[in-house]
Chain A
Amino acid sequence: MKKTLIIIKREYLSRVKKRSFIVMTILGPLLMAALMIVPYYIAKLDKEVKVIEVLDETGIYNNLGSNQTIKFNYINTDLETAIANFDESKSSALLYIPQPNLLEPTKAIIYYSDKQPGNTVTSYIEDKMKYIYENKKLIELYGIDKQKIDEAKVDITINSENIKTGEKNLPLATTLIGVFAGFLIYFSIFMYGNQVMRGVIEEKTSRIVEIIVSSVKPFQLLLGKIVGIALVGLTQFLLWIVLTLSIVTVFQLTVGHKDVVKTEQTQFTQQSNTLFPENTDTKPAQNSDNEMIQSVFQSIGNYNFTLIIASFFFFFLFGYLLYAALFAAIGSAVDNEADTQQFMLPITIPLILAFILAQPIIENPQGPIAFWFSIIPLTSPIVMMIRIPFGVPVLELILSMGILVLGFLACTWLAAKIYRTGILMYGKKISYRELWKWLKY
């Protein structure tokens, strides 16, 4: 036991002290915090109002409105004078709408000097022009005011609320949280599992293992390595969470919480407006859009983050332990990393499958696919994490956890048998049949 601790200590310290670990640990939260903070500054930068000169030869587009960042200045000259005076006007762009031929005002040109107007600007103008022209057509051809059509439009959003607690959860936020957690587990199992495998191969090819097994049992060495690297993973996640939270907290204290959330919302709206410009057609739709985004942020408070984070650590730990044992078994069976390919497939298939299944599981988080794959221990760490934000019956969660622990014990038992034989064997190409023989020793 004491020797296992010595091994754990070495495996842990030798990795934690590595430069790559330190860089990853610091860079991770910085990126995460940047994801939350940078949009705030970008939004702030964007607040600079752009004045756009409009030279409209058609005379139709005399009210393009305005918003926080775009203002229009209507001028009444010819194009040449407008271009000549452009520099003096201090406007950021010149919108030229030429006289239409055959009443087809499909053309408009934006002239700019130093900065090309962004997508937000052009799509805003396009939408406005579309709205105005459609309205004109409707009135002239059908005698209908477009406003009336807008008034007739209805918008229906389905909100889901927990019947017992009354918590509001939104499919979008739930999906994001679930998929993010699932992906993190998928990614870390591969990353830390690979570290275990490479460690085993290093010890095998350098024959360090032959010296070590004279003083400790192979199983102790295996256990020490797996646990040591598990602790590295846990340390990394803990530091990520703590660092991210503290950066964000410090930022919120200095700038103010509401401000951040609000800018994020507007940012969100702007982004979705750019992505789905048809939303901007109508005022009611835009309102509901805003509402939706607001409720995403509100609903974040409704998730049981203690449960999500606790289950994340549980499923990461045992999912990793289960796969790490298998990775170690592979490492022990080969003489170099290139030979690992043939044995990697059975390990990667369930992991990738679990991730591919994310789509149907999100669509039906309580369905049979979701249920069975969150019970099978090879896929449950990922699938269960995707499901948890949607709410999973406690009994199912306990069942899944229990079976995962059993699966981990079984896998470690099998892997230890392969490891014990493989780690001391060399100069031999190993086939699946050979592995099967080792299992039966």
Chain B
Amino acid sequence: MDLLETKNITKRYANHVALDDVSIKVPEQSIFGLLGPNGAGKTTLIRIINMISIPDVGEVLLHGEKLHKNLVERIGYLPEERGLYKKMKVGEQALYLAQLKGLSYSDAMKKLKFWFDRFELLGWWNRKVEELSKGMQQKIQFIVTVLHEPKLLIFDEPFSGFDPINASLIKEEILRLRDNGATILFSTHNMASVEELCDHIALINKSKKILEGKVSEIKYSYKTNVYQVEIAGYNKLLKDTLNHDFEVVAETHDEEVLKAQIKILNNKSTNELIQALMPYGNIHAVQEVIPTMNDIFIAKVNSDTPHLNSISNNLTE
């Protein structure tokens, strides 16, 4: 069952189209990554899902129900340019925001103490927000977003501004929240985090969705039948000697080991590749090269941007 669905969302501003017929489906209890280059329309989509702006065409469904103001309360939202009242004390501020989300004072207090303890922020309770580092402010913002245990969590660029330690802390929390039943939608440029976290992704480029699906399936569909092989004690090089069912994409070697990337052609199997390689020496490794999300992102965005291609072509010419 899909928790969140956007149907044919189109949003126009005076001079440009911010979103063009974008539909995504976010399955329940999954982590959904919204990817795309800068200015693609990710934040616009997130703002529409939060009912901060209104689409010109299309609708947003939550649990199959058309989104309205009261349903938005079930969403926890962390905006990209996050802010807090700078002059207010950390604890007071977290309490205030939690109470606005509908928590009672004592509930809010109990939960905040738990989270502050977890993020090692208890000592900062009575400090003013402006005295905190950016990373700490973001942790507080994160706490406030998840505190009322919303079913759907939306994070706009949750990792920007975090050091690696805190980024992995947040990653762990996101995974834990998913395991506890929450559905998470986040936008990012950070492809490593996509690999680690996302079950599903959608790629938006120039206001249009150009790719959506399960991460494992997307990667599978983008693999190119290329294998990384390592042969020790090789007697000759692969290039020009391997039979024509296989194409040597790249080859490097030192005195002992030969490494190469080989593409299997003509529907041959991996076993046939291994057979073909055996005469060359001791096979140490044969591993299929699965494209990273980073590769897919770049390939997809570039192929979707003929303008950019033509520029780079012109440059090479």
Contacts and interface: CB of A to CB of B under 8 A. Distances in A.
Interface in B79-134: 79-88, 96-97, 99-102
B16 interface: no
Interface in A283-335: none
B144 interface: yes
Contacts, number: 56
B108 to A, nearest CB: 11
Nearest to A441: B54
Given A206-B83, A207-B83, A208-B84, A213 B52 contact: yes
Contacts of B99: 3, 6
B76 to A, nearest CB: 8
A246 B61 CA distance: 63
Interface in B42-68: 47, 50-53
A211 B75 CA distance: 10
A272 B107 CA distance: 67
A66 B62 CA distance: 94
A216 B69 CA distance: 9
A424 B53 contact: yes
A214 B72 CA distance: 6
Contacts of B101: 215
A205 B83 contact: yes
Contacts of B87: 14
A217 interface: yes
B73 A214 contact: yes
Contact of A215 (B79, B85, B86, B100): B100
Nearest to B14: A428
Contacts of B79: 207, 210-211
B77 interface: yes
B75 A214 contact: yes
Contacts of A207: 79-83
Interface string A321-357: 0000000000000000000000000000000000000
B97 A211 contact: yes
A212 interface: yes
A210 B77 contact: yes
A281 interface: no
Contacts of A3: 99-100, 102
Contacts of B50: 210, 214
Contacts of B82: 207
A205 B142 CA distance: 19
A207 B72 CA distance: 17
Contacts of B52: 210, 213, 424
- Size category, A interface: 10 to 19
Nearest to A224: B100
A206 B81 CA distance: 7
Interface in A2-30: 3, 6-7, 10, 14
Contacts of B73: 214-215
Interface string B207-219: 0000000000000
Contact of B85 (A6, A208, A210, A213): A208
Nearest to B148: A215
Contacts of B100: 3, 6-7, 212, 215-216
A126 interface: no
Contacts of A424: 47, 52-53
Contacts of B47: 210, 424
Contacts of A6: 96, 99-100
Contacts of A127: none
Nearest to B78: A211
A391 B125 CA distance: 56
A202 B130 CA distance: 14
Contacts of A202: 85-86
Given A3-B100, A206-B83, A217-B69, A211 B88 contact: no
Contacts of B85: 14, 202, 206, 208
Interface string A196-210: 000000100111101
A207 B52 CA distance: 11
Interface string B34-47: 00000000000001
A433 to B, nearest CB: 12
A9 to B, nearest CB: 9
A211 B77 contact: yes
A14 B88 CA distance: 7
Contacts of A205: 83
A206 B20 CA distance: 28
A214 B147 CA distance: 14
Nearest to A426: B81
**B53, B83, B88, most chain A CB atoms within 10 A:** B83
Contacts of A211: 77, 79, 97, 144-145
A331 to B, nearest CB: 15
**B52, B72, B87, most chain A CB atoms within 10 A:** B52
Contacts of B84: 206, 208
A210 B156 CA distance: 12
A205 B81 CA distance: 9
A14 B47 CA distance: 29
Contacts of A10: 96
25 contacts: A3-B99, A3-B100, A7-B100, A202-B86, A206-B81, A206-B83, A206-B84, A206-B85, A207-B82, A208-B83, A208-B84, A208-B85, A210-B47, A210-B50, A210-B79, A211-B97, A214-B50, A214-B51, A214-B73, A215-B72, A215-B100, A215-B101, A216-B100, A424-B47, A424-B52
Interface pairs A-B: 4 shortest CB-CB: A206-B83, A215-B100, A207-B79, A210-B79
Interface of B: 47, 50-53, 69, 72-73, 75, 77, 79-88, 96-97, 99-102, 144-145
Given A211-B144, A212-B100, 14 more contacts: A3-B102, A202-B85, A202-B86, A206-B83, A206-B84, A207-B80, A207-B83, A208-B85, A210-B79, A211-B97, A213-B52, A214-B73, A215-B72, A424-B47
